[in-house]
């Protein structure tokens, strides 16, 4: 069985704070999203996002590897 929590809200609403608490207090693990954009300064592939090509994104979509 998988337990999953989706944290959504506007920028600055405390999502990262809640994520940190869940990780420390309840051993939750962050899901790293895929993005086709280029990394921003300081972002790390596999930590902040999985940086993928447009082709990889289309393949993942066709293979139903994404949750919506």
pLDDT for 31: 86
Query: Is residue 51 over pLDDT 80?
Result: yes
Q: Which residue has the tokens 């902040």?
A: 48
Same domain, yes or no, for 39 and 64? Answer: yes
Q: Which domain does 67 fall in, by range?
A: 32-68
CATH number, domain of 65, equals 3.30.63.10
Q: Average per-residue pLDDT in the chain? A: 92
User: Average pLDDT of 21-35?
Assistant: 91
Per-residue pLDDT band at 59 (split at 50, 70, 90) = very high
Residue 3 has pLDDT above 90, yes or no: no
Query: How far is residue 59's CA from residue 65's CA, in Å, rounded to a whole number?
Result: 9
Average pLDDT for 27-41: 93
Tokens 């930590």 belong to residue: 47
Token duo for residue 31: 């899901």
Whether residue 12 is found in the same domain as residue 36: no
* 49 and 68 share one domain: yes
DSSP string, 1-14: ----------TTSS
């Amino acid at each position: 069985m998988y337990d999953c929590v989706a944290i959504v809200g506007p920028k600055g609403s405390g999502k990262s704070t809640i994520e940190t608490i869940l990780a420390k207090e309840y051993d939750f693990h962050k899901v790293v999203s895929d993005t086709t954009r280029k990394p921003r300064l300081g972002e790390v592939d596999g930590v902040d996002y999985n940086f993928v090509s447009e082709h990889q994104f289309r393949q993942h979509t066709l293979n139903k590897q994404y949750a919506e």
